[in-house]
Chain A
Amino acid sequence: MDASPSMLVQLLMPLALLIGAYFIGNAIEKKHYRELRVREHASRRFITVTFPYEPRDEEIVGSTLVTGSVVISVDYFKRFLAGLRMLFGGRIKSYEPLLDRARREAIMRMKEDARAGGYHAVSNMRLETARIASSSGNNKGTAAVEILAFGTGLKLRRRAPATP
């Protein structure tokens, strides 16, 4: 009978981990989304396009490569949900916010990088996604992804009005 407490612990540990991960993971995600909304709103006037930008009224006086990247991982609870979903197939809803957050964060960082360097627009923005493998070698499927956003930052100057 002395084996039962340890068995109880073995059963309860993953459960506690799941519940803990659910609450902390959710709180982190909500906080991140709040911050993202504020920062995205603050930078909504910053021109970011996915094609080579040609301004009409301004001339380009400088350019450089700007990047923004983030490595983000999903919490234990969501990984568990995804594991269940993989039995049946279909849409893994719990992973979608992860990639959404990472992408928006990477784009925001790229914009902030451009703005910090005194650039006024980002032209030809591109996004890349890479999976980061865990070095512990467990097959639990570490859901860490790196998202890289990069583009060409442009310095713009208003054209002098043409003299007649």
Chain B
Amino acid sequence: MILSNTENIPGKTIQEFYGVVTGSTVRAKHIGRDIMAGFKNIVGGELKGYTELLNEARQEAVERMEAQAKSVGANAVVNVRFTTSSVAQGAAELFAYGTAVKVE
């Protein structure tokens, strides 16, 4: 599965469009990570626990999007976009979407 955030797959031509595919996941924060983050909030700097958590979650959203693209017979997703929204205190939704296509 080739992913791209441009309108086509660079160096290849699109043969068929399959429409929009999406993948999302809602994650809550681990209590231990949150305590560490609370401490980090005093001195500032990177909250590594959150960075990892959101990266894992985003990876999962992308995998779900890929699975959906595969199920409709596509071999690539173009114009991939991401959004993050905090749906509740301590939980965030990671969302990935794009257009499923077939390239040669």
Contacts and interface: CB of A to CB of B under 8 A. Distances in A.
A21 B43 contact: yes
Nearest to A131: B86
A134 B89 contact: yes
A133 interface: yes
Interface in A87-111: 98, 105
A48 to B, nearest CB: 13
Contacts of B62: 65
Interface residues of B, number: 39
Interface residues of A, number: 49
A71 B46 CA distance: 6
A64 B55 CA distance: 17
A76 B43 contact: yes
A71 B51 CA distance: 5
Given A124-B6, A136-B38, A144-B50, A67 B58 contact: yes
Given A52-B10, A133-B90, A29 B55 contact: no
Interface in B16-35: 28-29, 34
Contacts of A24: 43-44
Nearest to B52: A71
Contact of A59 (B7, B11, B37, B55): B11
Interface of B: 2-7, 9-11, 28-29, 34, 37-38, 40-47, 50-51, 54-55, 58, 62, 80, 82-86, 88-92
Report, nearest first, the 8 A-B pairs whose CB atoms are least far apart: A135-B90, A75-B44, A60-B11, A130-B84, A65-B3, A71-B50, A25-B44, A24-B43
